[in-house]
């Protein structure tokens, strides 16, 4: 009973669940994000490579998003050879044809949508909820022969021939319902991206308060010290 969605503004691809689980109630949503994509030439832009700023380049985000359905039609089922994989990587269906969205327009991204708001191309309308897989892609980009420009013998970010891609997996579970889990996933994805962009230079966790416990007649007294104020 899986469904997928993507958010191209966040470079996020994700799974959510069709309805709540009978035993565990709201099911979580899980997704992946390109925090730092490959770099390509782009005059006037500036790319980020592990904190190193590279002028006249930019980072690619997610450039296509595909789904597979276990037991689905040939054009949407698991790829069985390199050619079918390459079709999906390019944002086509498994047969090499265009993917058409809910308006009939060709797209390289299946199910750009907000599941809770019900906007966009919602999964589950064209294809019933089922065993889903997803494929996130970023490219094309070039990896030329490496040049050790600083002479340290290491392939450092920013040197010709070095591409560094950073992705992260996240999970979010709502206390309301399964579709709200998708909304919560997007919320924590924004926070995770901000933390990455700041090189994780985040405010420190406040001190744990010191608590003392004493038993008295008919009651338990808890006292918090002021060390965490």
Average pLDDT rounded to a whole number, residues 5-27? 92
- Measure the CA angle with vertex 98, ends 92 and 103; round to 5°: 120
DSSP calls for 113-160: EETTTTEES-TTSSS-SBSEEEEEE------PPP--TTSSSS--TTST
> CA–CA separation, 204 vs 20, rounded Å?
36
- pLDDT range class, residue 227, cuts 50, 70, 90: confident
DSSP 11-60: TEEEEEESS-BTTTBSPPEEEEEEEE--EEEEEEEEEEETTEEEEEEEE-
The pTM of this model reads: 0.85
> What percent of the chain is modeled with pLDDT above 70?
99
Task: Check residue 62 and give its pLDDT.
Answer: 97
Kindly report the backbone phi and psi dihedral angles of residue 46, in degrees, each rounded to the nearest multiple of 5, phi listed first: -135, 125
pLDDT tops 80 at residue 10 = yes
List the domain boundaries for the chain.
2-228
């Amino acid at each position: 009973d899986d469904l997928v969605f993507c958010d191209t503004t966040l470079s996020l691809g994700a799974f959510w669940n069709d309805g709540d689980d009978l035993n565990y109630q709201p099911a979580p949503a899980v997704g992946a994000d390109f925090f730092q994509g490959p770099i390509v030439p782009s005059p006037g832009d500036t790319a980020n490579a592990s904190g190193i700023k590279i002028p006249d380049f930019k980072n690619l985000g997610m450039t296509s998003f595909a789904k597979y359905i276990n037991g689905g039609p040939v054009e949407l089922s698991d790829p069985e050879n390199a050619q079918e994989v390459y079709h999906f990587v390019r944002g086509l269906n498994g047969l090499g044809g265009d993917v058409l969205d809910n308006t009939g327009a060709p797209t390289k991204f299946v199910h750009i949508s907000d599941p809770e708001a019900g906007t966009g191309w919602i999964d589950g309308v064209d294809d019933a909820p089922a065993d889903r897989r997803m494929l996130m892609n970023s490219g094309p980009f070039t990896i030329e022969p490496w040049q050790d420009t600083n002479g340290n013998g290491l392939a450092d970010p920013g040197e010709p021939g070095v591409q560094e891609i950073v992705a992260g997996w996240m999970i979010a579970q709502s206390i309301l319902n399964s579709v709200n889990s998708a909304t919560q996933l997007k919320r924590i994805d924004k926070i995770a991206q901000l933390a990455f962009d700041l090189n994780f230079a985040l405010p420190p966790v406040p001190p744990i308060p010191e608590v003392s416990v004493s038993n008295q007649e008919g009651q338990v007294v808890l006292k918090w010290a002021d060390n965490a104020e």
